[in-house]
């Protein structure tokens, strides 16, 4: 292990969903601004090997990294804040840990020993804790432990954190505990007892938190901070207030104001490598909070009752809106509730429509009708992954007159499979095996909307899909007005389609939202917003 690497562990207590990922990303941003190279990893206590097969309602969206790992949506926050890519090594689940240990046991690597939670599972967890530090690329590795302290599932992780302290030694190890200070309206009081109990559980597991970050709706008076410091055994200046913020992008500046970065640096004996540079971040926030115009965008999908299912898309619109100092009002529209009759009322007042990614047949016909409406009424359209495939099906049916055109995902026996599996995918049995995952090359045709957006001809984008545009129909579609503006140079598969005579009609087979960050908003989102602004003016 690179002895110079420092390790910070972030645990949570009292309740889940307090925002450990945002605190981790904010701290990492502040340390990055001081000149340190930082990465963040997430350890999830569920038994799935990865979130790839989880329903988005279970766990929000599945985020895909450059190297094709299907990961927790918190990795999206890490990348959006830090503007640096994560990888397979940045998200580990209990399932992966146990899978690794059982695989080793089957190979005889434990030499006949009795395989147990301690030391074998905890050793495997620690191996993964330290993995990113061993490469010597990072000054600081921040590890977020999913779930709550006290959960049965989290116990091996918490025990591994306790052991890690002794492995790493003084000044190389730090625990931040994120907790909730509830406000009792009847008593008109902020209550510290849940936090005391949460810290007590950590202490029972052998871990003394170094810093408390307290989520609260009200500012913490000094006497409450003193009480927390006294009963939780932390220094007074290490009780950090984390007030609810207007936007997650405020949190780094709020944490800076609370001096979280300074406390961490002093405990880890880190000396700043450069002056804090958050000017670009502040510039982004200034534009985000002071828009000069606004647009109304509809996002058509089937998981609309849980916005986290479309987390990266929602955030990409925030980044892209700020570029044009434009407030993007995003309305989530259930594709299952759309029909030819209800569409005009739901879509006619929108400035643009996005058809979201997804798998399966549910809500497909509603998406097809939505695409038809925006194509015929010159409303800017952006299709992502399945959204692009839906646009192809709609065009085949209503422009080419192939009424039974479909994707073989929805109808394996369709006579006109405009979207289908490629030959080499057809015999693969394991669900994940047929997927195109991670970063692939794409070449753009000059003079197209896609080329104008990117300003270059060679790009790399992340994929997560199984079915592809069927090139047998390409010449027919091009003759009728579709432009295949992005092509994979190796496979010749169509990556981007657009329609010439339309204000902005673009479908991408990949997921551009995964690469949008605060400092580098995604060009397709930026151009889509610009197109909606321009189109709105002509109405």
- 245 assigned ligand-binding residue: yes
- 191 annotated as a binding-site residue: yes
The residue annotated as part of the active site, out of 232, 326, 385, 442, is: 385
- Say whether 17 counts as a known binding-site residue: yes
Is 222 marked as a binding-site residue? no
Numbers of helices and strands, H then E, in the chain: 18, 23
- Cα–Cα distance measured from residue 172 to residue 133, given in angstroms and rounded to the nearest whole number: 11
Strand duo 482-487 + 505-508: pairing: unpaired
Q: For the chain, report the end-to-end CA distance as a whole number of angstroms.
A: 62
C-alpha 151/C-alpha 224 separation (Å) is 27
On whether 426 is known to bind a ligand per the annotation, the reply is: no
How does DSSP classify residue 119? Answer: I
**402 is annotated as contributing to ligand binding:** no
Report whether 387 belongs to an annotated binding site: yes
Would you say 57 is a known binding-site residue?
A: yes
Is 20 annotated in a binding site? The answer is yes
18 is in an annotated binding site: yes
Residue 361 appears among annotated catalytic residues:
no
Rounded CA-CA distance 374/308 in Å is 25
Around Cβ 535, how many Cβ atoms within 10 Å? 18
Reading the block at residue 271, the tokens are 């000396």
The reply, when asked if residue 389 is annotated as ligand binding, is: yes
The strands making up 91-93's β-sheet, listed across from edge to edge, are 91-93, 38-44, 140-145, 6-12, 173-180, 211-216, 239-243
**Is the torsion defined by CA of 14, 17, 18, 21 positive or negative?**
positive
Other Cβ atoms within 10 Å of 185 Cβ, number = 7
Say if residue 539 carries a ligand binding annotation.
no
Is 62 known to be catalytic? Answer: no
Tell whether 42 is in a known binding site: no
16 annotated as ligand-binding: yes
Question: Which run of H or of E encompasses 122?
Answer: helix 122-134
Residue 214: which of 357, 67, 12, 361 has the closest Cα?
Answer: 12
Q: What is the dihedral of CA 425, 426, 427, 432, to 10 degrees?
A: 50
Q: Which of 319, 463, 511, 522 is catalytic?
A: 511
Is 144 among the annotated ligand-binding positions? Answer: yes
Question: Does 321 carry a binding-site annotation?
Answer: no
Residue 196 marked ligand-binding: yes
SS3 69: coil
Is there a catalytic annotation at residue 513?
Answer: yes
**195 assigned binding-site residue:** yes
* Residue 108 annotated as lining a ligand binding site: no
Is 520 among the annotated ligand-binding positions? no
Tokens coding 223: 């006497």
Helix extents (H) in 20-117: 20-33, 56-59, 74-82, 94-106
CA angle 200, 30, 72 (to 5 degrees): 65
User: Which of the following is catalytic: 232, 319, 513, 522?
Assistant: 513
Q: Are 225 and 237 in contact (CB under 8 A)?
A: no
**What per-residue string of b and e applies to 52-78 under the rule 16 or more CB within 10 Å gives b?**
bebebeebbbbbbbbebbbbbbbbbbb
Q: Is 19 annotated as a binding residue?
A: yes
What Rg do the C-alpha atoms of the chain give, in angstroms? Answer: 25
Task: Write out the two tokens for 429.
Answer: 């049995």
Identify the H or E element spanning 10: strand 6-12
Q: Is 274 annotated as a binding residue?
A: no
Residue stretches of the annotated binding site:
16-22, 57, 74, 144, 151-153, 191-196, 227, 245, 358, 386-389, 409, 466
Residues forming the active site: 385, 511, 513
Residue stretches of the annotated binding site for UTP:
16, 191-196, 227
Residue stretches of the annotated binding site for ATP:
17-22, 74, 245
Residue stretches of the annotated binding site for CTP:
16, 151-153, 191-196, 227
Residue stretches of the annotated binding site for L-glutamine:
57, 358, 386-389, 409, 466
């Amino acid at each position: 292990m690179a002895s110079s690497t420092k390790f910070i562990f972030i645990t949570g207590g009292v309740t889940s969903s307090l925002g450990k990922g945002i605190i981790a990303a904010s701290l990492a941003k502040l340390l990055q601004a001081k000149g340190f190279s930082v990465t963040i990893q997430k350890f999830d206590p569920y038994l799935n090997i990865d979130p790839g097969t989880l329903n988005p309602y279970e766990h929000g969206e599945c985020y895909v990294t450059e190297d094709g790992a299907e990961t927790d949506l918190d990795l999206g926050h890490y990348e959006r804040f830090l503007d640096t890519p994560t990888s397979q090594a940045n998200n580990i689940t209990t399932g992966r840990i146990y899978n690794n240990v059982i695989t080793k046991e089957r190979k005889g690597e434990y030499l006949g020993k009795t395989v147990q939670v301690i030391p074998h599972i905890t050793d495997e967890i620690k191996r993964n804790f330290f993995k990113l530090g061993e490469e010597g690329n990072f000054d600081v590795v921040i590890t977020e432990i999913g779930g709550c302290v006290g959960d049965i599932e989290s116990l091996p992780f918490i025990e591994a954190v306790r052991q890690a302290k002794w492995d790493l030694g003084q000044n190389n190890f730090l625990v931040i505990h994120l907790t909730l200070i509830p406000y009792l309206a009847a008593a008109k009081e902020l209550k510290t007892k849940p936090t005391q109990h949460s810290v007590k559980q950590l202490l029972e597991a052998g871990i003394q938190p170094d810093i408390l970050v307290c989520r609260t709706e009200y500012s913490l008076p000094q006497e409450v901070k003193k009480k927390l410091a006294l009963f939780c055994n932390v220094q007074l200046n290490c009780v950090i207030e984390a007030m609810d913020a207007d936007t997650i992008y405020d949190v780094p500046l709020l944490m800076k104001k609370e001096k979280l970065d300074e406390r961490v640096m002093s405990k880890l004996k880190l000396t700043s490598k450069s002056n804090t540079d958050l000017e670009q971040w502040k510039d982004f926030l200034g534009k985000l909070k002071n828009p000069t115009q606004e647009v109304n965008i509809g996002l058509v999908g089937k998981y609309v009752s849980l916005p986290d299912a479309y987390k990266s898309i929602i955030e990409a619109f925030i980044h892209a809106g700020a570029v044009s100092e434009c407030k993007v009002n995003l309305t989530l529209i259930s594709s299952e509730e759309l029909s030819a009759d209800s569409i005009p009322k739901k879509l006619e007042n929108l400035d643009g429509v996005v058809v979201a990614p997804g798998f399966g047949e549910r809500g497909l016909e509603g998406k097809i009708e939505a695409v038809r409406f925006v194509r015929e009424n010159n409303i800017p359209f952006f299709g992502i992954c399945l959204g692009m495939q839906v646009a192809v099906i709609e065009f085949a049916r209503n422009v080419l007159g192939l009424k039974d055109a479909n994707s073989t995902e929805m109808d394996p026996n369709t006579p006109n499979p405009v979207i289908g599996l490629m030959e080499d995918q057809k015999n693969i049995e394991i669900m994940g095996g047929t997927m195109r995952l991670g970063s692939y090359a794409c070449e753009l045709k000059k003079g197209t909307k896609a080329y104008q957006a990117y300003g270059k001809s060679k790009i790399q984008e992340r994929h997560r899909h199984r079915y592809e545009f069927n090139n047998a129909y390409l010449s027919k579609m091009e003759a009728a007005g579709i432009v295949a503006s992005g092509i994979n140079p190796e496979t010749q598969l169509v990556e981007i389609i657009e329609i010439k005579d339309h204000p902005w009609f673009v479908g991408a087979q990949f997921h551009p939202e995964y690469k949008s960050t605060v400092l580098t908003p995604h060009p397709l989102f930026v151009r889509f917003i610009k197109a909606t602004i321009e189109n709105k003016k002509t109405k």
